[in-house]
Amino acid sequence: MSYYFTILSPTDTPIFNIAFGTSKGGGDGIARFRFPDTAQYMNQFIIHSSLDIVEEAQWTNGGMYLKHIDTYPPAAAYISAFLTPSGARFLLLHQPPQLPNSGGGSGLGSSSLLGSSGNLARGSTSSIAANPTSPQTEEAVRQFMTEVYESYVKTAMSPFYKQGMEIRSPVFRTRVNAAGKKWL
Amino acid sequence: MTSPGDATPVKPPPSFSPGVGRNASKSRYPNEHESTVLIDAELAEARSVSSPTPPLSATTAELPIRSASPQGRSVRSSTPQLARSSFGSPLDGRFDGSEDIRSLIIRGFCPTIAVYASEDTDVLVKNKGFKGGFWELLRPFGETVTGKVIIRDSIGSSRAWEDYGVRFVDLKGLGRAPASRDSGRDSPLAQIEEVLEQQLGSAEGSLGASLPPKDVLGFPATTSLSKLFLRQLLSSTPAAPHETFGHPVASVIAISSRNKAPLETLRQLYGETNTGDKRLPDWVHQEYLRYYVLVHDEERDDITESTKLYDQMKRHFGLHCHLLRLRSSQCVVTDDDSVQVPHCEWLSPQEHMSGAGDADGTPYLFDSDVSAIKSFIRELTVQSVIPFMENRVAVWNDQVASRRRGISGRFMSMSKRWAGFGSSSRSGIGGSGGGNNVNYDTEHNFYRQDTPEAILRKMADFAFMLRDWKLASSTYDMIRSDFGNDKAWKYHAGAHEMCAVSMLLNPLAMSAKIKLESVDQMFETACYSYLTRCSDATHALRCLALAVELLKSRGGSATESAARWAMRVMDFGLVGSVGQILFMERVAACYASKTPVGGAKWGARRRKAGMWSIFAADQWLKAGKPTLASACLEEAERLYADVLGADGMFPMPEMQSFIDNLRHAVKVDYLQARGFDTNDEPVAGDTVGTEEISEKLDKRNHRRSLMGLPAQLDAGTLMSAGPRDPEDQPNDDFERA
């Protein structure tokens, strides 16, 4: 599973981008998207287009975490969204690996401890890498989003940060990375 | 007659709410006529205000002319279109395009009439310049029957159609079709692709020929290319056992006045359609209408002789006869009253490629011949074929469908499932079933034409061709599970497909979302059966293309599933490279036609539509069609206009650079294609590029300073807002100083 995480300002400008791969089940944490390297703009296109859905879902969904809201079928890209009170939006694009059962264990995650309740390890079929729309994945993404949100709030409160500015803080980046490693 | 004042109390609501029209009772017969005039006049007026070129306004405006038909219907008939045109969607442009597509789809499923002419007739017609014989002479005129065609549906109400047509086929070709089909199963798709490329080439030749329709519509609702694609798709499926659209509803048996033994020849021709090698395969219902035509040669034969013969024909063969008077000499352009034969709209891909569609190749006819043929086809359709079909539907509905619907029918289908018992109860209805419990011939993969399943399918198809979608969908719905039980997968797929299609075409039904889900489910099943169980890509593609277009024309949330189906088509790889791009455009069009809910800002899919337009532009460029690419780019810009800020810059840097590059490449390619000297072009392009970049930087700085304003509620903003403003101010001052 490969992830592309973006924080969008209220005016749709990206203020933070990160791409990472799964670290579960022996994943090396490196993003491997299905697009060729020359077509990384695809991630941004997909994220941008899913804003249509975010705009609609934010009025119909009560929570801050909007769950899985959109899919881009040609590339099997799934988008989950999280709203913040300031109007910034967290969008996570996740893309299962092309061939779930081949390759160096990218799809064979066997233990995804889900939530603070500490669920038991699931089989490989129910791992979050394999089913992007399963409740386990929803829950894992939620944990990730909440953790990132906490770091985001702390970063945004920094006196050197202005609303809408690009987040350059290396601390924030490592925290997002750690959250990704932990949950996804 | 009543004064207009009497009629006005019949307020607009009849035309606005579908249910009310039904109340129009026959006791108010004289008034009714007047009131429909009023309503229709209003209607036409409203229509002409809302859209400059209403395709259907003529239908409704002229409705009162058929005062002979039951009156209640004339109010009702106009209802569905009005309902959709007036408040179905807030966008008038969309209405036009989708009506167009609907009409195209409806006309794609029209009755087939086989033509079987005697040698002497074919010789006569060949002299006139039609190499294919009598069939080829009739064919272009059958595609639109002149005037209105009035069809009664199963509940006895009638409705007039302007765009009715029939398809003439050669009887000899009909029998052959299955053989050629088995040889190359996926060839139709390859041919469609080839036709598209050919068309593209010619469009590129006359620069920008395919652009105007797009600009006029304002929406990419229907580019001429995607219409061509759909038309090709609908006419590329030959007669098959599992659906009866290609089976003849009637056959025209023609002789000419030159024939020495006319009645004997007619009998012989009739006999040949029933027995011998011209007999249609076993899965075609044999009881189709026979229509006898005497072609009179105006120049060489005596009309009194012919009239005498015609009277004799009528005595022998009944009322389904016609005397067609043609001139036997060939017409050339320079003749006084020469008329060019209209272009054939429904050519199959093979014919397209063999050049039959070329406009310059079509021969000319005398004006009198044209009007004779037109009135012949009208008479054939209106007085014989349609009453025949209406009659068959009524009879089958009575004899077969009602039994199937009743208790015993349900028991029958149930007992089939639990195959242990009930074989005796079946025999009453099944008729020809052998010891085997099912009527399906697993060896040859078809139902015999006289089994109830085949008859019900035929009845549903008839109802569909008569545009009685309610009856059609209920019948398809009834039989679709039977086919599944018999493991007749192609029938199964076909029934599911047509059930969904007729449900979507039925303008009165289907407002609830549940229905939409069931329609989706049916398409899913149909597509699975076609592709996985029968590996019939042509039908699967037709099914999905219909799903896309019809769901799109539904509007609302249906457009999203339309887009999803279009993506599925691309995913399945059913289409070639050009088709792929066309479907990208369709996805964009589907998303573009989704409009915001009420007055709210959300609910539209502008970004998605824009994205797909950009991708389509990229693909057109890669396919070497810069003209089309630039059209798509323009489209994308229009779609993005609402979403982006006033500066038109994309917030995401990589997107922006991709689009800039694309624009530049399209510009260069476009100019190159036009034969401009491109040596200095790159320089010009670069300057444009750098200009844009510098602008972008400026704007971005500007944008950032505005960033916090819309989100004043945020605590973070309040904190950061303080230090920022003073910071910006001095900068400005510095610049001014």
Q: What is the pLDDT of residues A102-134, one digit of tens each?
A: 333 333 333 333 333 333 333 344 455 567 778
Q: Is 50 exceeded by the pLDDT of residue A165?
A: yes
Does a structural domain hold residue B467?
A: no
Residue B223 lies in a domain: no
Chain B residues lying within 8 Å of A40, measured CB to CB: 654
Q: Which residue has the higher pLDDT, B77 or B410?
A: B410
Distances (CA, A) of B168 to A146, B118, B274, B323: 67, 16, 19, 18
Boundaries of domain holding A77: 2-183
Nearest-angstrom CA–CA distance, B677 and B671: 8
Clarify whether residues B48 and B169 are in a common domain: no
Is A157–B614 a contact, with Cβ atoms under 8 angstroms apart?
Answer: no
Alpha carbon distance A131, A127 (integer Å): 7
pLDDT at B360: 55
Give the residue-averaged pLDDT of B533-541.
Answer: 88
pLDDT single digits (tens) B213-250 = 443 334 444 467 888 888 888 888 777 888 888 888 99
Other beta carbons within 10 Å of B161: 18
Query: Which pLDDT score, from 0 to 100, does residue B389 have?
Result: 93
Contacts of A8 in chain B (CB under 8 A): 651
The percentage of residues in chain B with a pLDDT greater than 90, rounded to a whole number, is: 19
> Residue B27: pLDDT band by 50, 70, 90 thresholds?
very low
Q: Name the pLDDT band for A145 (thresholds 50, 70, 90).
A: very high
For B243-291, what is each residue's pLDDT tens digit?
888 888 999 999 998 888 888 999 898 888 887 777 778 888 888 899 9
Strand, coil or helix: B366: strand
Distance CA A7, CA B481 (A): 50
Minimum Cα–Cα distance from A161: chain B residue:
B720
Same domain, B131 and B252: yes
- CB-based contact A142:A65 (threshold 8 Å): yes
**Residue B617, both tokens:** 């532009």
| CA atoms of B534 and B540, how far apart (whole Å) | 10
- What is the per-residue pLDDT for B440? 80
Residues 6+ positions from B62 with CB-CB distance below 8 Å:
B148
Per-residue pLDDT, B495: 93
Among B446, B174, B121, B68, which residue's Cα sits nearest to residue B283?
Answer: B446
B9 and B152 assigned to the same domain = no
Domain count, chain B: 3
Long-range contacts of B636-641 (CB under 8 A, 24+ apart): B636/B588, B636/B610, B636/B611, B639/B588, B639/B592, B639/B606, B639/B607, B639/B609, B639/B610, B639/B613, B640/B606, B640/B607, B640/B610
Are B50 and B141 in a shared domain?
no
At residue B643 the predicted structure's pLDDT band, cuts being 50, 70 and 90, is confident
Kindly calculate the radius of gyration of chain B based on its CA atoms and give it in whole angstroms: 30
Q: What is the pLDDT of residue B93?
A: 36
From the list A44, A52, A157, which residue is nearest B655 (CB)? Answer: A44
Q: Report how many domains make up chain A.
A: 1
For the cut 70, the answer to whether the pLDDT of residue B19 exceeds it is no
Which of A118-127, B11-20, B123-132: highest mean pLDDT?
B123-132
Chain B residue with minimum CA distance to A12 = B651
Interval B347-392: pLDDT, tens: 877 777 776 555 556 788 889 999 999 999 999 999 999 999 999 9
Domain boundary among B365, B386, B407: B386
Instruction: Look at residue B443 and tell me if it is in a domain.
Output: no
Closest Cα in chain B to A166: B704
DSSP reduced 3-state for B111: coil
The H or E element that residue B363 is part of is none
Reference B591, options B316, B221, B249; nearest CA is: B221
pLDDT digits 0-9 by tens, B139-183: 889 888 888 899 988 888 888 988 899 999 888 777 555 444 444
Average pLDDT, integer, range B322-348? 84
User: Which among A12, A74, A156 is the nearest to B570, CB-wise?
Assistant: A74
Q: Report the residue of chain B nearest A160, measured CA to CA.
A: B720
Of B341, B361, B386, the position where a domain reaches its end is B386
* pLDDT recorded at residue B523: 93
Q: Per-residue pLDDT tens for B597-607?
A: 766 667 788 88
Task: State the nearest Cα–Cα gap between A164 and chain B, in angstroms.
Answer: 6
Do B282 and B331 reside in the same domain of the chain?
A: yes
SS3 B118: coil
- Please enumerate in sequence order all residues whose Cβ is within 8 A of that of B270, keeping only pairs 6 or more positions apart, or say none: B253, B290
- Please list every residue in chain A whose beta carbon sits closer than 8 Å to the beta carbon of residue B717: 86, 163
- Tell me: do B272 and B155 sit in the same domain: yes
Instruction: Give residues with Cβ within 8 angstroms of A116, minimum separation 6.
Output: A143
Quote the mean pLDDT of chain B: 72
> pLDDT at residue B518 above 50?
yes
- pLDDT, position B406: 72
Residue B707 and residue A163: Cβ atoms within 8 Å?
Answer: yes
DSSP string of chain A, one letter each residue: -EEEEEEE-TTS-EEEEEEEE--GGG--S----SS-GGGTHHHHHHHHHHHHHHHHHHHH--SSEEEEEEEEGGGTEEEEEEE-TTS-EEEEEEE--SSTTSSSSTT-------TTTTPPPPPGGGSTTT-TTSHHHHHHHHHHHHHHHHHHHHHHTSTT--TTS----HHHHHHHHHHHHHH-
Residue B568 resides in a domain: no
Lowest pLDDT segment from A142-156, B341-355, B403-417, B630-644: B403-417
A interface mutation test: which of B702, B704, B712, B727 has the most A CBs within 10 A?
Answer: B704
**Is B607 close to A161, i.e. CB distance below 8 A?**
no
Residue B418 — very low, low, confident or very high, per pLDDT cuts 50/70/90? low
Measure the CA–CA gap between B345 and B108, rounded to whole angstroms: 10
Q: Is any Cβ of chain A less than 8 angstroms from the Cβ of B717?
A: yes
CA distances from B199 to B194, B225, B313, B478 (A): 9, 8, 47, 41
Asked whether residue B651 is domain-assigned, the answer is no
Residues B139 and B48 in one domain: no
**pLDDT value at position A176?**
93
Å between B655 CA and nearest CA of chain A: 6
Contact between chains at B650 and A45 (C-beta distance less than 8 A) = no
| Model pLDDT, residue A76 | 85
Q: Are strands A77-83 and A89-95 parallel, antiparallel or unpaired?
A: antiparallel
Helix (H) or strand (E) segment spanning residue B322: strand B321-326
Beta strands in B127-194 (DSSP E): 149-152, 158-161, 167-170
CATH of the domain at B162: 3.40.50
Residues B80 and B127 placed together within one structural domain of the fold = no
CATH of the domain at A179: 3.30.450.70
pLDDT digits (tens, 9 = 90+) for A14-36: 899 998 888 877 777 788 887 77
Q: Which of B386, B410, B429 is the last residue of a domain?
A: B386
- Does residue B287 share a domain with residue B350? yes
Residues of A in contact with B561 (CB under 8 A): none
Q: Lowest-confidence range among A43-47, B310-314, B558-562, B723-727?
A: B723-727
What's the pTM? 0.74
> For the ranges B12-16, B117-121, B589-593, which has the lowest average pLDDT?
B12-16
pLDDT at B653: 84
pLDDT of B359 reads 52
Query: Using an 8 Å Cβ cutoff, are B534 and B490 in contact?
Result: yes
Residue B708: list chain A partners with CB under 8 A. 162-164
What is the pLDDT, as a whole number, of residue A151? 93
Which two structure tokens, joined as six digits, stand for A28?
A: 């090396």
| pLDDT confidence tier of residue B487, bands split at 50, 70 and 90 | confident
**Quick check: B719 pLDDT over 80?**
no
Mean pLDDT of B500-505: 90
- Residue B513 has what pLDDT? 58
Do B83 and B122 reside in the same domain of the chain?
A: no
Closest Cβ opposite residue A86 in set B570, B716, B724: B716
User: Which residues of B, range 607-636, sit inside 8 Å of A by Cβ?
Assistant: 607-608, 610-611, 614-615
Distance from C-alpha of B327 to C-alpha of B310, rounded to nearest angstrom? 18
B665 — contact with chain A (CB < 8 Å)? no
In a domain, B583, yes or no: no
The minimum CA-CA distance between B551 and chain A, rounded to whole Å, is 18
B33 and B120 inside one domain: no
- Token digits of residue B733: 């001052």
* pLDDT tens profile B45-101: 444 444 343 333 333 333 333 333 333 333 333 333 333 333 333 333 334 466 788
Total beta-carbon pairs less than 8 A apart between chain A and chain B = 106
Distance from C-alpha of B611 to C-alpha of A49, rounded to nearest angstrom: 7
Tell me if B676 is assigned to some domain.
Answer: no
Query: Given CB atoms, is B726 within the 8 Å cutoff of chain A?
Result: no
Same domain assignment for residues B133 and B30: no
Distances (CA, A) of A50 to A9, A57, A80, B196, B706: 15, 10, 9, 32, 24
pLDDT, mean of residues B29-50: 42
Residue B25 belongs to domain spanning:
4-87
The pLDDT value given to residue B342: 82
